[in-house]
Structure 1
């Protein structure tokens, strides 16, 4: 098959591709679930995880075992095949079909059939517009607004160093927000000293509104929200304890035999500049599996203290799962040894896992299902240990942001210090 033939399949035989995807992942989904299947598909096809999820959803919507009206679904598949609907069109339409909330007006299968029939000869954008407006009209018939507002922030910056904020609101709310931001942007642009474009001024207006400490809308009790201290935005100094050994309990030994507690060392090194976290090697000359300690450490009976969360977030930067992009600052503090089994809320027993991966962790070490999140015995990095594999084979997060974590930075620094 040459390049032209390959493009022809994607542009006119979307159901063939969807069927192939379903056959590839059907058994994997049954054994490991859709999340693991999407991750495998992303690697296998070399596509972003979001695209892999879309392909997985389309393939199961068209060929999966769960179907209320299989005859209607089969008719929709036949229409898509005869009409030569491409993969991109099917993916675009499927996201709108999945947004149907008014299931009393029409079933999902009948809606899909209707949209496929109307999509003959349409471009991807035209078919998407038709499906979106049709589903929106059906949802509008509900007495309750089916819209669900949401906001998400991109996990990593783009090539310009910018992270993207995407918010979704009901039409009326979005229009009101846009109007308010445009008014604020116009006031900024009216200043002769302002050199911002209109879109830049709108972004500045939004930032000022969010960061403002006054003029907030009152909450339900009529009181204005208190100013929030963003502890995770404080500066941090990370210190490699070169020439010292971690004796445990926060004690460090120098090469001349003297001992010092980490808190005393922190007090000597510009504590006023922010939080201080110290790493050191163990007696075998390997990175210790936990930071020695830092300023403001406090033990907590069950939940990690703000200082512990701060240090774990700096230690990892990202969730412990090798495939996850979620930032450690937004993760759960996971107990490696479960709290219910006597695990303590200490730096050695805590790693950051997002809600999804924390929920999937095998808290019972004897249960081999999804694997466990541990600290790698050689590097101390948060890692995922697959069922039955030794801890030395645990895999760590390889994303770029993880490479900037305090743990990796200090491991590299200590390695250079050992090199003659």
Structure 2
């Protein structure tokens, strides 16, 4: 098969591709769940996780065992095959029909059949628009259309160093937000020194509205509102306590046999520079943060100090594939709270809401795997079912490589290496 034939398959045999995907992952999904199947598919096809999840959803929507109207679905598959609909078109339509809320007026299977019958000869964009228009019309028939406003922030900066925000609001709310931002942007243009384009002025207006302590008033002549400093932007000083063992409760054992409290190392550093965090060796020999004993007053939830230390220690969610910031994550108990796990630094890991829900709290019932601390490095890691802890995988995104734990592991390794004799 040459390159043109390969593109022809994707452009006209989308059903065949979806069927092949289903055959590859059906057993894996049954044994280990969709999440791990999507990771496997992403690696095998060398595609992003978002594309792997979309392919997985399409294949199961067309060929999976769970189906409300099997006969209608078979008719839809036959219609797509006969019309020679491509993979991109099927993915676009599938994303649109999944947004159907008015299931009483029309089932998803029937709607998919309807769109497939109309899609012959349409481009991907035209088919997507047709599907969205049909879904909007059906959802509008509800007495109160359910809204799902959302905001997403890109995981990493683009080539220009910019991260992207994508917000979704109901039409009326979006129009009101746009109107307010345009008014604020026009005020910026009133300044003769303003060199911003319209889109840049809109972005500046949004930033000022969110970061200003009291917002701005479009009826006054103030051009530069006051700004606030986010608490997480304070500097964090990390001190490697080389040669000291963490005894717990903030106590350190020094090389000469003395015991001291970690605050004795701090001096005035914290007052001058910001937050301060000390790493010392654990009983297993890897660095770990000092402090954060069990909080007696409210033992179920991590204290602000513990959250700050865990966020510094990881920077990102413990899942190897996740981009979410640890500062915005849940504090996950490695040994579940219900099973006697304590709210201590060693038993806490930052996991986003999605991956926290997927964790196997009961290790005797493996399904998705567990989030643990790697036995060799102490880093937050994911242990897949039926694999030893030393094979657990850590988050390898660029930001995770700058975390306190990663830096201290490198620092302690260098400090313990012997210098060769000359």
CA-atom RMSD in angstroms: 2.4
Contact (CA 8 Å) 1:316, 1:405: kept in 2 or not?
A: yes
- Counterparts of 2:72 and 2:11 in 1: how far apart (Å)? 24
Deviations 1:66-107 (A, max 9, x none): 222222222221221121111111111111111111222222
- Counterparts of 1:366 and 1:59 in 2: how far apart (Å)? 31
- Counterparts of 2:168 and 2:363 in 1: how far apart (Å)? 41
Contact (CA 8 Å) 2:369, 2:382: kept in 1 or not?
A: yes
Q: Which runs of 4+ in 1 moved over 4 A?
A: 227-230, 296-300
Aligned equivalent of 2:163: 163
Aligned equivalent of 1:313: 311
Contact (CA 8 Å) 1:369, 1:387: kept in 2 or not?
A: yes
1:182 pairs with 2:182: yes
Aligned equivalent of 1:397: 395
- Counterparts of 1:3 and 1:176 in 2: how far apart (Å)? 49
1:6 pairs with 2:10: no
Distance apart, 1:18 and its partner CA: 0.7
Aligned equivalent of 1:338: 336
Distance apart, 1:170 and its partner CA: 1.2
Contact (CA 8 Å) 2:36, 2:368: kept in 1 or not?
A: no
Distance apart, 1:256 and its partner CA: 4.3
Q: Taking structure 1 as reference, are residues 22 and 365 closer, same or farther at Cα in structure 2, changes over 3 Å only? A: closer
Aligned equivalent of 2:139: 139
Equivalent positions of 1:54-69 (< 5 A) are 54-69=54-69
- Counterparts of 1:146 and 1:90 in 2: how far apart (Å)? 25
Contact (CA 8 Å) 2:212, 2:228: kept in 1 or not?
A: no
Instruction: Identify which range, 45-54 or 335-344, moves more after superposition.
Output: 335-344
Contact (CA 8 Å) 1:297, 1:308: kept in 2 or not?
A: no
Query: So what's the TM-score if we normalise by structure 2?
Result: 0.90
Aligned equivalent of 2:29: 29
- Counterparts of 1:41 and 1:401 in 2: how far apart (Å)? 25
Q: 1:364 aligns with which of 357, 362, 365?
A: 362
- Counterparts of 2:85 and 2:374 in 1: how far apart (Å)? 49
Instruction: Identify which range, 230-239 or 171-180, moves more after superposition.
Output: 230-239
Q: Taking structure 1 as reference, are residues 266 and 330 closer, same or farther at Cα in structure 2, changes over 3 Å only? A: same
- Counterparts of 2:232 and 2:215 in 1: how far apart (Å)? 24
What secondary structure, in the 3-state scheme, does the structure 1 residue paired with 2:237 have? Answer: strand
- Counterparts of 1:283 and 1:122 in 2: how far apart (Å)? 65
Stretches of structure 1 lacking an aligned partner (at least 5 in a row): 218-226
Q: Taking structure 1 as reference, are residues 255 and 268 closer, same or farther at Cα in structure 2, changes over 3 Å only? A: farther
- Counterparts of 1:366 and 1:66 in 2: how far apart (Å)? 28
Instruction: Identify which range, 90-99 or 274-283, moves more after superposition.
Output: 274-283
- Counterparts of 1:76 and 1:388 in 2: how far apart (Å)? 40
Aligned equivalent of 1:287: 286
Q: Taking structure 1 as reference, are residues 282 and 303 closer, same or farther at Cα in structure 2, changes over 3 Å only? A: closer
Q: Taking structure 1 as reference, are residues 76 and 399 closer, same or farther at Cα in structure 2, changes over 3 Å only? A: same
What secondary structure, in the 3-state scheme, does the structure 2 residue paired with 1:321 have? Answer: coil
What secondary structure, in the 3-state scheme, does the structure 1 residue paired with 2:240 have? Answer: strand
What secondary structure, in the 3-state scheme, does the structure 1 residue paired with 2:105 have? Answer: coil
- Counterparts of 1:282 and 1:82 in 2: how far apart (Å)? 64
What secondary structure, in the 3-state scheme, does the structure 2 residue paired with 1:33 have? Answer: helix
Contact (CA 8 Å) 2:12, 2:87: kept in 1 or not?
A: yes
Contact (CA 8 Å) 1:315, 1:405: kept in 2 or not?
A: yes
Stretches of structure 2 lacking an aligned partner (at least 5 in a row): 218-226
Aligned equivalent of 1:104: 104
- Counterparts of 1:156 and 1:346 in 2: how far apart (Å)? 30
Q: Taking structure 1 as reference, are residues 340 and 73 closer, same or farther at Cα in structure 2, changes over 3 Å only? A: closer
- Counterparts of 1:264 and 1:13 in 2: how far apart (Å)? 69
Aligned equivalent of 2:173: 173
Contact (CA 8 Å) 1:21, 1:56: kept in 2 or not?
A: yes
Q: Taking structure 1 as reference, are residues 326 and 257 closer, same or farther at Cα in structure 2, changes over 3 Å only? A: same
Aligned equivalent of 1:327: 325
- Counterparts of 1:330 and 1:195 in 2: how far apart (Å)? 35
- Counterparts of 1:190 and 1:28 in 2: how far apart (Å)? 61
Q: Taking structure 1 as reference, are residues 391 and 103 closer, same or farther at Cα in structure 2, changes over 3 Å only? A: closer
Q: Taking structure 1 as reference, are residues 122 and 371 closer, same or farther at Cα in structure 2, changes over 3 Å only? A: closer
What secondary structure, in the 3-state scheme, does the structure 2 residue paired with 1:333 have? Answer: strand
Contact (CA 8 Å) 2:294, 2:342: kept in 1 or not?
A: no
- Counterparts of 1:106 and 1:248 in 2: how far apart (Å)? 61
What secondary structure, in the 3-state scheme, does the structure 2 residue paired with 1:400 have? Answer: coil
- Counterparts of 2:386 and 2:89 in 1: how far apart (Å)? 43
